[in-house]
Amino acid sequence: MRNKIIAGNWKMNMDLTGSIELIEELSIELKYVQKCDVVFCPPFPLLLPVKEAMKNTRFELGAQNMFWEDKGAYTGEVSANMLLSVGCNYVILGHSERRKYFNETNETVNKRVQKALLAGLKPIVCIGETLEERESEQTRSVIENQLKYDLQGFCRDDVVNLILAYEPIWAIGTGKTATPDQAVEVHQFIRDLLSKLYDEELAQIVRIQYGGSVNNANARDLLGRSDIDGALVGGASLKAQQFAKIVEAGELNS
C-alpha cells in the first residue's frame, strides 16, 4: 500500500515569526503521526528557519521551485544544491501558478524535474486542466500531454522517485473541490498512462496527490479513496488546526 503524503504549499505567504509558530504548534499536535508523510513547502527565505523549527519531528522540507542550472549569473534563481544544503528533500515543480504567471512550459518543467532527480531531490510534479478544458472535455488529452512532456526522457528508476500532483486549476483557491469521484477518475487515468509509458508495477508505486481546495471538511472523503495518495494543500496549510485535520485523515488512511 502507498502511504499518504500531505504537503503544505504555503505559496507566497507567512513570515518568520508566523512560520515558526505554525511548525511548533503542529509539532505537538502531530506527534502521533507515524505512517503519513508530512512535508512543508515554505517560501525560500523561510526554508532554513522552518527546518530548524521542525527538528525532532518526522516533518520534511520542500521548496516551491528551483532552476536547472548549478550556479551562475541567474539573478533571483536558486539551484538544487542550495535546496539540499538547507535540508530540503522535496521540490514542487510545474505548479500551475508558475506556468501561468512565470511562463513555465512543459519543456522548462522537464528540465527542472531532470535536474532535481539528478541532485537527489524528490520532485512533486503538478499537472491539471483549466475549467475551459474540462468543460470542453479535454481533461484527458491535457493531462496526457503534460505528463508525457514533463516526464520525457526519464527512465523507470527516475519516475520511482517523483510524486505527481493532480491539481485541477479550477479547484485551486476557489473553494470548488473536485469530488472524490472526479479526482479518482483522473488519478486512474494517470496511473493507466504510467502503466503504458513504463509498466504496471511502476504505475502502482508512484504516489499521486490531489490538490485544489483541500480542507478539513473534505480531506476524509478524498483521502479515504485508495487512488488518492495524498494532498497538496494551499490555503488550509496556513492554519494549524485545519492542516492537522488533513494530516489526521492521511494518517488514518495510510
Residue 169 is classified by DSSP as G
Non-local (6+) Cβ contacts of 96 within 8 A are 126, 128, 167, 169, 172
Stretch 172-211: interaction string toward ligand 13P, x if CB under 6 A: xx-------------------------------------x
Residue for cell digits 530548524? Answer: 52
The dihedral through the CA atoms of 179, 200, 121, 116 has a sign that is negative
How far apart, in whole angstroms, are the C-alpha atoms of residue 209 and residue 7?
Answer: 9
User: Of these residues, 60, 129, 167, 251, which one is catalytic?
Assistant: 167
Compute the least distance from the CB of residue 106 to ligand 13P, in Å: 18
Active site (annotated) includes residue 167:
yes
Q: Which of 37, 150, 167, 248 binds ligand 13P (CB under 6 A)?
A: 167
Q: Which is nearer to ligand 13P, 65 or 253 (CB)?
A: 65
How far apart, in whole angstroms, are the C-alpha atoms of residue 7 and residue 247?
Answer: 9
Residue 175: what are its φ and ψ, rounded to 5°? 80, -5
Active site (annotated) includes residue 187:
no
Q: Which of 4, 6, 9, 198 binds ligand 13P (CB under 6 A)?
A: 9
User: Of these residues, 60, 95, 104, 248, which one is catalytic?
Assistant: 95
Q: Residue with CB nearest ligand 13P?
A: 234
Q: Contact positions toward ligand 13P, by CB under 6 A?
A: 9, 95, 167, 172-173, 211-214, 232-236
Would you please indicate which residues are annotated as catalytic (active-site) residues?
Answer: 95, 167
